[in-house]
A and B are shown apart, each in its own frame.
Chain A
């Protein structure tokens, strides 16, 4: 059997930091199997987790000064909740891992404690039938385990998943890294088409979508991510409208109006699209709701963006041709 400690070292913290920045994202794996923590006996509790280092570390660090077993499932380096959604943190893998580690010979009781968020993949009654082990769903957060273990009863608060400012800040780095290459390409193209102001507008629209949006999420108006994104995108595009009005002071009125409207047509859809894509990083959006959002908003985003680009490219041509 492997052993683990509850200590999070500086090297662990550095690894967590790199993980948050998407470095070697699929390689953050723990060897699946049974781990001893403290000096467990036949009566010590068994906790189940995924073989993603952040999941494993969150669990073991919550078990300070405790003797226990950790049963690590093979979820291909994916966290508990996402793996449960896919079914890799699931009934089959749990039953298989209980057999493969001969858990019934290691402990005398027949209880495994799972993180609550493993429930979408695990049918507790099915596991009981197949392995004779009773699945007990612990709290959502490993940090609540010491409190939970006092009565083996989770409070309603322990059962709720939240999405606090801290949680939202934690996912921003990976959002930025994911959007970096498209952002630099778009900024370069914008520079060639409209100079540094356009380039800056691209950066503002994209950073608003991947960084500002997650921070402001609960305070932006409406419930739809796309509508929230349009609102934020319009705010961020406003300075570029003003810059455009200032820059074309001696042009014809229709040219000035057109150039001023263009940023409002081009950039808010970009921010809104990124906002819509943030649904997958949150803890509460339903599939049917997201589907409705996609059908309702993506065509609007595409049309606004296309008309805006056409306007920006067309206006100088009309001005030249029209003399």
Chain B
């Protein structure tokens, strides 16, 4: 109840991960844990879908429907029927 942020669109395919650690380095919310070359999805509920991990994953084992979590931009986009909400 009253928590729209419990789930998100982040998916991590651990089996095909090469352990490079880029996702761990770029995530601003400590979603991934790193233990040597083993990466785990530790705090998935913290993900803000910024897309940094997906963009920097050289093996494409991360998928996230990334975008900016801004209500103003999304509502303006809905009203003006533009596909990608932007600001500034």
Chain A residues proximal to chain B, CB less than 8 Å: 25-26, 78, 82, 84-86, 116-117, 119-125, 137, 140, 154, 156, 159-161, 222-225, 227, 276-277, 279-280, 282-294, 296, 298
Q: B12: shortest Cβ distance to chain A, in Å?
A: 15
Assess whether B5 is in contact with A159, with CB atoms less than 8 Å apart. Answer: no
- CB A287 to nearest CB in B, in angstroms, measures 4
State the main secondary structure of chain B at its contact with A.
Answer: loop
A286:B87 contact, CB within 8 angstroms? no
Report yes or no: A85 in contact with B56, Cβ–Cβ below 8 A.
no
Within B42-88, the residues touching A (CB, 8 Å) are: 46-52, 55-56, 58, 65-75, 86-88
A residues within 8 A CB of B70? 279-280, 285, 290
A86, A125, A280: the one contacting B56 at CB < 8 Å is A125
Closest to B4 in A: A292
With A120-B66, A288-B7, A289-B8 given, can you name 6 additional A-B contacts, CB distance below 8 Å?
A: A82-B68, A85-B67, A122-B55, A285-B69, A288-B8, A290-B71
A-B pairs under 8 A by CB, number: 123
With an 8 Å Cβ cutoff, the count of chain B residues facing the other chain is: 39
| In contact, B87 and A82 (Cβ under 8 angstroms) | yes
Give 27 pairs: A residue, B residue, CB < 8 Å, sorted on A. Answer: A82-B87, A85-B50, A85-B68, A116-B26, A116-B28, A119-B55, A120-B55, A120-B66, A123-B56, A125-B56, A125-B58, A159-B27, A160-B29, A161-B28, A222-B2, A223-B3, A224-B2, A276-B71, A280-B71, A284-B46, A285-B48, A286-B5, A286-B9, A290-B70, A293-B4, A296-B4, A298-B75
Give me the interface of B with A, judged by CB distance under 8 Å: 1-5, 7-9, 22, 25-30, 46-52, 55-56, 58, 65-75, 86-88
* A124 with B47, Cβ < 8 A, contacts A224-B2, A285-B69, A290-B70 known: no
* B57 CB, min distance to chain A CBs, angstroms: 9
A120 pairs with B5, CB closer than 8 A:
no
Q: Does A160 lie within 8 Å of B66, measured CB to CB?
A: no
Q: Is the CB of B71 within 8 A of A294?
A: yes
A223 touches B2 (CB 8 A): yes
Q: Are B74 and A160 in contact (CB under 8 A)?
A: no
